Amino acid sequence: MTAPGTEELEQLRPYLLRYALLQLRDRESAEDVVQETLLSALEGRARFAGKSTVKTWLTGILKHKIIDLIRRRARDQPLVSDDDDGSEAEAADALFQADGHWQQFPADWGSPERALEDKRFREVFELCAKAMPLRTARVFMMREVLELSTEEICKELGITPTNLWVILHRARLALRECIEIKWGTAAA
């Protein structure tokens, strides 16, 4: 087994940057955290055990660095501001009638393959993900990009599982609504 070289690590920079950007949503922090990851990897490359791919190994380092950053930020800015919480609750409620029926039935998006292969779907998806309120996006991406468990996210952010599930549910409702409106319009 040989330690990965500088070039091999450097080739993964675009991948790492995209990963970090999805979670952090600001280029400067994403670039910093990727730079730190590549440096740590270079310093520690003798320890790369070759049990996983270099990509998996680097992703693991990056994930730790991102979680550290989120933890520091969570200390500085409390996670759920009351304002955000109120307006997002209203937005979620507005999607249903008083008797609990959908205002508008979610449409059939076809098979996952079809949606994911559709360039327009991917554009709309990126657009709608970027439109998420910052705090919601932070939590949602911890779940979907970092793939942390309920326990891990609650521990990092100091919230309860019930809180977390409400935030995630509202995030999904808003995201699918946005996609459906924009993608539907495009298809018509």
Partner 1 sequence: MLTCKESSVLLSQAQERPLGLGERLRLRLHLLACAGCTNFSRQLRIIRAAIRRQRDEDA
Return residues touching partner 1 (CB under 8 A): 14-15, 18-19, 22, 96, 99-102, 105-109, 112, 115-116, 121-122, 125-126, 129, 141, 143-145, 150, 161, 164-165, 168-169, 172-173, 175-176, 179-180
For 4, the enclosing helix (H) or strand (E) is none
Task: For the CB of residue 153, give the shortest distance to partner 1 in the complex, in Å.
Answer: 10
Task: For the CB of residue 76, give the shortest distance to partner 1 in the complex, in Å.
Answer: 26
Closer residue to partner 1 in complex, CB, 87/150 = 150
Task: For the CB of residue 18, give the shortest distance to partner 1 in the complex, in Å.
Answer: 7
Q: Is the dihedral of CA 1, 14, 114, 180 positive or negative?
A: positive
Given a contact cutoff of 8 angstroms between Cβ atoms, the answer to whether 127 and 182 are in contact is yes
Task: For the CB of residue 43, give the shortest distance to partner 1 in the complex, in Å.
Answer: 24
The vertex-122 CA angle with 117 and 127, nearest 5°, equals 175
Task: For the CB of residue 101, give the shortest distance to partner 1 in the complex, in Å.
Answer: 5
How far is it, in rounded angstroms, from Cα 79 to Cα 164? 11
Q: Which residue has the tokens 């590549």?
A: 38
How far is it, in rounded angstroms, from Cα 32 to Cα 94? 39
Closer residue to partner 1 in complex, CB, 19/57 = 19
Closer residue to partner 1 in complex, CB, 73/172 = 172
Instruction: Of 73, 42, 69, 81, give the one whose Cα is nearest residue 58.
Output: 42
Closer residue to partner 1 in complex, CB, 43/99 = 99
For 94, the enclosing helix (H) or strand (E) is none
How far is it, in rounded angstroms, from Cα 57 to Cα 49? 9
Closer residue to partner 1 in complex, CB, 87/149 = 149
